Amino acid sequence: MSLTNRQEEAIFRTLDTFQIELPSWAFANTGTRFGKFLDPSAASNIEEKLADAAQVNRFTGCCPSVAVHVLWDFPDGVASAAPAAQKARDLGVRIGSVSPNVFQDQDYKYGSLANPQAAIRTRSLDHILDSIEMARAAGSRDITPWFTDGSNYPGTANMRQHKRWFEEGLRAAHATLAPDQRLLIEYKPFEPTFYHTDIADWGMALQLAKSAGPQAKVLVDTGHHYQTQNIEQIVAWLLDDGMLGGFHLNDRRFADDDLTLGSIDPYQIFRIFHEICLYQFETGSPADIAFMVDQSHNLKPKAEEMIQTVMRAQMLFAKAAIVDHATLAAEQSKCNLIDAEECLQSAFQSDVRPVIEEWRRSKGLAANPLAAFRESGYLKRVIEERAGRAQAVSSYA
């Protein structure tokens, strides 16, 4: 079925504003708890990560920012932030969200903001405050902490006390935000704490965000849910409350597998994007959401996999943009279940690729970014440049 002029215009409008933030760590060697396989093209420092990300932006035209992890990307603390921001600008991108790292050091074996030892709670808060300062120095809006606090065995932690420690710590962090900054609170149901995780679901993250202050929102990682979780309902509720700050986009087969977006269940990603498009249709205003990628490319070539992710995200968002919301609402109001579902399915099954290719050409981009990247010779060049050097330490050691 061919698309109407109105649908094609909707796709163009959507792609004009749809921007995706790339994660610096996805360009480095990553692995699992069992080890890692090395990639000869892997970046080993922030300069190489930014260079790779800039290539993805060059060929896709929609990835102007790069998320960083303080411990992995700003080794000299605040002093690292401004030079990295300048390097990013030189490459045509910018530093995006800044993630503190309060889970990797040995001090955090029993938690960070909810650690039973006051000194370690203070250390973790100080690190978050430093990360906020680094974000300001880099011109970054969003600070995106992820916490592993919790416990592995019943009776080993006071869960209510942990909650209160988190409330206290997040309020203190929020108090230091600049007026244009946001604190995005991420949740995860398990791993590495398997009995209880302090911020285990969207409800806990929502309550902590509201407790922290008005510049705190919830960050939804699409992999951080149980298998049967209705993620689009979570998105709908957070949108309705004005509390959806952003996404970490990926896919999963079992749990938090950090697979390529849409590689397992593209219909679920489409349904999530549909809720955003529906919200914008009903309210008449854009949703202020940060679309960030968080994937661990252990086997695929890193820059190519990132381009694949971006292309798939554009395709699924374009499909969501052509849902006939007026017709859908009418069928819903009459309880016409089949017709309502068919309205949604019709958009999902539509081939939007020719229109996306036309949009790319209108922006001076190649119709197929992945093919253009391969033809550019960049991957061959960086493999030669980076060959023989000590491989980067894995971000996910």
Question: Under CATH, to which class is 19-386 assigned?
Answer: alpha beta
Instruction: Give CA separation, 206 vs 69, 176, 212, 217, 238, in Å.
Output: 23, 20, 10, 7, 8
CA dist 206 and 296 (Å) reads: 26
CA gap 210, 242 in Å, rounded: 11
Q: Is the dihedral of CA 104, 169, 82, 52 positive or negative?
A: positive
Single-letter amino acid code for the residue at 278: L
Could you tell me the CA-to-CA distances from 139 to 56, 68, 142, 353 in Å, in that order? 21, 13, 10, 35
Of 299, 294, 290, the C-alpha closest to 309 is 294
Domain boundaries, the chain: 19-386
CB atoms within 10 A of CB 9: 14
Question: Cα–Cα distance between 254 and 166 in angstroms, integer?
Answer: 29
Rounded (10°) angle between helices 231-240 and 266-283: 20
DSSP 142-197: EE------EESSTTSS-HHHHHHHHHHHHHHHHTT--TT-EEEEE--SSSS--SEE
SS3 helix, strand, coil % of the chain, rounded to 5?
Answer: 50, 10, 40
Q: Which helix (DSSP H) or strand (DSSP E) does residue 307 occupy?
A: helix 302-321
Helix (H/G/I), strand (E/B), else coil: 289:
coil
- 334 phi and psi angles, rounded to 5 deg: -95, 5
d(CA 322, CA 6): 9
Beta-bridge partner residues of 94? 65
CA distance 143 to 185: 9
User: CB-based contacts of 74: which residues, under 8 Å, 6+ apart?
Assistant: 46, 68, 80, 81, 84, 134
The per-residue pLDDT for 389 is 63
Residue count of the chain:
397
For the range 74-79, what are the long-range contacts, defined as Cβ-Cβ under 8 Å and sequence gap of 24 or more? 74/46, 74/134, 77/130, 77/134, 78/130, 78/133, 78/134, 78/137
**Which single residue is written with the structure tokens 């902590």?**
208
- DSSP-derived pairing of the beta strands 196-197 and 150-151: antiparallel
User: For residue 296, what pLDDT is reported?
Assistant: 80
Rg of the chain in Å (alpha carbons) = 21
Question: Considering the entire predicted model, what is its pTM?
Answer: 0.95
The single residue listed with the structure tokens 């065995």 is 153
pLDDT tens across the length of the chain (397 residues): 689 999 999 999 999 999 999 999 999 998 777 888 899 999 999 999 999 999 999 999 999 999 999 999 999 999 999 999 999 999 999 999 999 999 999 999 999 999 999 999 999 999 999 999 999 999 999 999 999 999 999 999 999 999 999 999 999 999 999 999 999 999 999 999 999 999 999 999 999 999 999 999 999 999 999 999 999 999 999 999 999 999 999 999 998 989 999 999 999 999 999 999 999 999 999 999 999 999 987 899 999 999 999 999 999 999 999 999 999 999 999 999 999 999 999 999 999 999 999 999 999 999 999 999 999 999 999 999 998 664 444 444 4
CA dihedral over 79, 84, 90, 95, signed as positive or negative: negative
Instruction: Give the C-alpha distances (Å, rounded to integers) separating 346 from 14, 18, 269, 342.
Output: 18, 22, 16, 6
Contacts of 266 (CB under 8 A, 6+ apart): 312, 316
Q: How far apart are the first and last CA of the chain?
A: 48
Q: Distance (Å, rounded) from C-alpha 89 to C-alpha 286? A: 26
